[in-house]
Structure 1
């Protein structure tokens, strides 16, 4: 299997992959993406720590290319042997220098520090997202093209499917993310998750499980819509023939464009998420909510101008573009693999029916 669907229609109902097969393709894609992109974020966090951006009892954002995760800094109490990976002392002169020194002085595996806890949420969230997107997109396409199966897919189908899938996935994972962050701040094990849930519900009620979801959706929903419309349009330019290389290029272009357009929302989301964590998650008593999203945008614009709303654009694109490219290319490859399998099974079924008729 060369990773290409040839002349097959990937959405042909006879060969269309099942939700279970979609889950397998998304899961493998998420794992591979995490393995490739995590070192970029580890280096970014170490550079931030060097500039005193990370201090005791504060938060930092960790991302494996698929999802952001709030992590709390834990004091090492001056014990070098117990220093956490983000607190290890060193001096880096840049990104490339950081890669070299971390690999040389701490071992290559240090570049994947913090990967395990993020996979706990990243894998299931990514599976939910991609499976929901595929299910919605194919059904919207079937409905739009019910009178003519040869009609090209309308671009509003991936737009609606992408936005809806991200809305559902982010909403479903938000309570788990808050609970996990609370567990980190109180040093609880996964077996004591009920303690974290009890603490959160005590001060905020059930609605507290979705605190901070607004800023996340403000960035992720538009990003998802822009990304999938761009990617599906790119596929149409190749007559929907999906090779790994073409999917990789399309995912990179779509991810870069979506990251550029939504960077202001990312700046606001990061500001609000960390502020919320420090005031509402890391503290025991309930705290007052911070400024509204609109107020944050206005304050950033007044202080730093338009450039302030695009802070971190370059590192974000550098991280998002390969993450999107690897994820969608791997996902498309998995879809192609399962479709080829379904086609062979369909042919076997037809042969068996033919034999039965002859008998």
Structure 2
């Protein structure tokens, strides 16, 4: 008899990629309409005038948009709240308008998500295997998901960092491939290859701690509940653990997010409205944090707590639940294929399910 969770049935990197892609797709499909409505409401506020930027984020990727230039934000309709916006957008522009901006989201989010989740799984498994071989146990200490999560996020953010400027340009206006190539050439001409990694440090300061805390909390939450493996691997249980982990990580790292948002908007305004010819960089994170604290106190660093939780928690929950479900599907697929192979060779085996 062989258990269904036997290491030989562990899913391959390609299967991990498929699981991550399905998670990113489903998360985008669910979260994009919420952000489209939020942006429409933001765009009609008096504070958002010309030469101002705002963030479009569906839980997977952030897109920096200039108010008044993005074609899918018309101003002729006035919205009186969230539900009114949903109703009027659907009625006047059709249901598909709620998924405006989905294509660039998927083009940019899928590679980053795949790198992130596959790197985490590979690192966690290798560290756990090494630890178990050394100690002779089958446990997983909490420092393993902490290190694996932080390292995986650092890898993903660094690899996709060169497309940050191009992404901003894509979100500000429609660009042809030749125009994108020209924009990339401008960055290389004025700032060299270092310009492709502009803002990487501040992004890492926000995303790496979030990732480490998220995965540590996720694995810990799963251990706290005394449930059989079959229930711990269910979609709903992973959804719950993902939302808890996302909420805690979002709260702890909120000051980093507030400061990073200020810096990203400041830098984005210069990038978009100076056509890439930037003579002055955005303020560093330390100066921005001091300015926020001086003007608004400690509360200023935790501005937008509830909106961030309501955005991050469901996005994290949907993504991890779908990813884990995909892993279980491929693990069962691998075990079934192994059983069929052994039976074709005349060996009768029994694969028992995990309790």
**Match of 2:328?**
336
- Where 1:265 maps in the other structure, the secondary structure is helix
Quote the residue 1:85 is aligned against.
72
Task: Quote the RMSD (CA, aligned, Å).
Answer: 2.1
Name the residue aligned to 1:198: 185
Matches within 5 A, 1:116-195: 116-147=103-134, 150-183=137-170, 185=172, 187-195=174-182
Q: Aligned match of 1:279 in 248, 270, 281? A: 270
SS of 1:85's equivalent in the other structure is: coil
How far is the alpha carbon of 1:67 from its aligned partner? 1.3
Distance 1:295 1:328 in 2: 35
Query: Which of 189, 194, 204 is equivalent to 1:207?
Result: 194
Q: 1:59·1:274 contact (CA, 8 Å) conserved in 2?
A: yes
- In the alignment of these two chains, the number of paired residues is 341
**Unmatched 5+ residue regions in structure 1?**
1-6, 76-82
- Are the counterparts in 1 of residues 63 and 171 from structure 2 also a CA contact under 8 Å? no
Partner of 2:210: 223
CA distance in 2 between partners of 1:340 and 1:243 (Å):
13
User: In the alignment, which residue of structure 1 is the partner of 2:259?
Assistant: 268
2:48: which partner in 1?
54
Counterpart CA distance in 1 for 2:320 and 2:163 is 25
1:69 lines up with 2:60 in the alignment: no
Tell me, which stretches of 5 or more residues in structure 2 are unaligned? 349-355
Deviations 1:173-205 (A, max 9, x none): 111121232355575313443211111111111
Distance 1:116 1:277 in 2: 21
Contact 2:112 2:156 in 1 (8 A): yes
Q: Decide whether the 8 Å contact of 1:64 with 1:115 is kept in 2.
A: no
Q: Which one of the candidate residues 64, 85, 95 is aligned to 1:108?
A: 95
Q: In 2 relative to 1, CA 73–115 (structure 1 residues): closer, same or farther, beyond 3 Å?
A: same
Q: 1:99 aligns with which of 68, 73, 86?
A: 86
Q: Take 2:7 and 2:55, find their aligned partners in 1: how far apart are those partners? A: 42
Distance in 1 between residues matched to 2:27 and 2:59, nearest whole Å: 7
